[in-house]
Amino acid sequence: MAKVDVVSARRLEDDRSPPGAPHLPSGTEEPPGEPAATPAARALLLLLRVTGLVTDRAGPAARLYAALAFVVNSAGAGWFTVVCISTGRVLQGDGHVVVALSHSGFFGLMYVLMWMSMACCFLWSREQYGEQLTIIRAAVHRLSEFHGSMELSASLRRNTSKLLAVVVILFTITVAVRLYYQLLFPCGKLPLPCLPSLIYLIVFCWSIVSFCLVPFKYVLSSLYVESGLQKISTILSAMVEERYQPDPAAVCDIISLHGELSRTFGRLTRAMSAELVLVMASGTIICVTMLLTVISSLTLGTFEVMVPMLVLYTGLASVTMVLPSEAIQRCLEAAGEARELLLAAELRQPPLSRQLGLLRESVGRDLDTLGELGLFRLRRSTVLSISSTILTNAIIMLQFYFA
């Protein structure tokens, strides 16, 4: 079991990595045998690198590749926006304002917000993400060495595998929906020749998947934080049941590791705050578009044709709004559990009451700050508030539609 003296534990508060943690480059390489090095996490980080949302290391080649990926996304967003504006103007000219909004993604606003979130990622958080995630993983790895060895690995493996499965499902839905409409309206019926239509298909799938990976990369980091908090709860539960008797130095080590985990995740959240706010705004527009599409397609008798698009909208709304909020909610629940156990541990372990009190204050700060984006906090109640606002605005629009 890893133990450090009180001086080393205090020095950790000002250091960027925990004492004794393996030296890692800012990227995705992990030391052999680390419990957090799950195959699903590696696959997710590979996807992030391929789409240019994460840069493993500084250098001209990495920056050039990220710039090329961003140029492709920018070209796609511009193309989609032009097509949506043209479609919306035609439908608006026919007197179908609500139909124009629903079938054009609010005249391309949905794709503009998607592009803006990827632009924020390219400009600010792309290089920071690998560095901050490395520090988080190192802290989680050190926490896994306390009382229970590698139990943390099973939790991370399970959660990251579920996250990767969601990515694969969403990618499959995106490709299938685009192919469906490509076959439904073959080249002879499109104003574009076959080659541009094929390019449109590829760029559309690339851009949608790249955009969806923005919230996925934040959720990936939150899974590590949740696992670290759960491990602290496991340690405290053993202390309450008197199955584990740590010395003050070991508790100071846990305090320092938790502080490193909390501060680093806070820095990562601040770095990604702009893109996450834009992701939530995109999700709001997607939800409104989905509701209006249901109403307009039922009215016009085209609901069967729009079902695949509604499935895609549902997936995008879930990824952009529900997934990040649910991930932070799980972290808050893990922090709340740890805080409750700390109260009991202070009573069962009087010699460690001072150290446990400091840890309780540190965990309590998590309950006040986790998921803070400036404009709002990511948590389950946020999704409920946004959903209520969406329904209210949708009802107002429908009043104009049936007027």
pLDDT tens, residue by residue, 107-128: 999 999 999 999 999 988 888 8
| CA neighbor of 254 nearest in space, from 239, 237, 235 | 235
Predicted confidence (pLDDT) at residue 20 exceeds the cutoff of 80: no
Mean pLDDT of 179-192: 65
Mean pLDDT of the chain: 83
pLDDT of residue 297: 86
Instruction: Say which DSSP state 124 is in.
Output: I
Predicted confidence (pLDDT) at residue 24 exceeds the cutoff of 60: no
Report d(CA 34, CA 22) in Å as an integer: 10
* Helix ranges, 104-192 (H): 109-120, 126-143, 151-184
Instruction: Say which DSSP state 192 is in.
Output: S
Q: Please count the CA atoms within 13 angstroms of the CA of 112 that sit on its side-chain side.
A: 12
Tens digits of per-residue pLDDT, 54-95? 987 667 888 899 999 999 999 999 989 998 999 888 888 776
Q: How many CB atoms lie within 10 A of CB 392?
A: 9
Percent of the chain scoring above 70 in pLDDT: 84
Residues 6 or more apart in contact with residue 12 via CB below 8 angstroms = 4, 18, 19, 253, 256, 257, 259, 260
pLDDT of residue 58: 66
Q: Evaluate whether 133 touches 272 at the Cβ level (below 8 Å).
A: no
Report d(CA 261, CA 259) in Å as an integer: 5
Tens digits of per-residue pLDDT, 318-338? 999 999 999 999 999 999 999
pLDDT of residue 109: 92
Tokens found for residue 122: 């390219």
Alpha carbon separation from 109 to 83, 85, 88 (Å, rounded): 12, 9, 11
Q: What angle do CA 273, 217, 79 make, to 5 degrees?
A: 80
| Beta bridge partners of residue 372, listed in sequence order | 377
pLDDT band at 35 (very low <50, low <70, confident <90, very high): very low
Report d(CA 150, CA 36) in Å as an integer: 9
Indicate the SS3 state at residue 253. Answer: helix
Report d(CA 45, CA 27) in Å as an integer: 9
pLDDT band at 209 (very low <50, low <70, confident <90, very high): very high
pLDDT of residue 15: 40
Number of H helices, E strands in the chain: 13, 0
Q: How many CB atoms lie within 10 A of CB 151?
A: 14
Report d(CA 280, CA 104) in Å as an integer: 19
Indicate the SS3 state at residue 148. Answer: coil
pLDDT band at 314 (very low <50, low <70, confident <90, very high): very high
Q: Evaluate whether 76 touches 207 at the Cβ level (below 8 Å).
A: yes
Q: Evaluate whether 245 touches 348 at the Cβ level (below 8 Å).
A: no
Predicted confidence (pLDDT) at residue 191 exceeds the cutoff of 60: no
pLDDT band at 403 (very low <50, low <70, confident <90, very high): low
pLDDT band at 187 (very low <50, low <70, confident <90, very high): low
Query: 22 vs 153, which has greater pLDDT?
Result: 153
Residues 6 or more apart in contact with residue 11 via CB below 8 angstroms = 19
Instruction: Say which DSSP state 293 is in.
Output: H
Q: Evaluate whether 277 touches 215 at the Cβ level (below 8 Å).
A: no
pLDDT band at 200 (very low <50, low <70, confident <90, very high): confident
Q: Evaluate whether 69 touches 56 at the Cβ level (below 8 Å).
A: no
Instruction: Say which DSSP state 29 is in.
Output: -
| CA neighbor of 6 nearest in space, from 235, 246, 253 | 253
Report d(CA 201, CA 78) in Å as an integer: 14
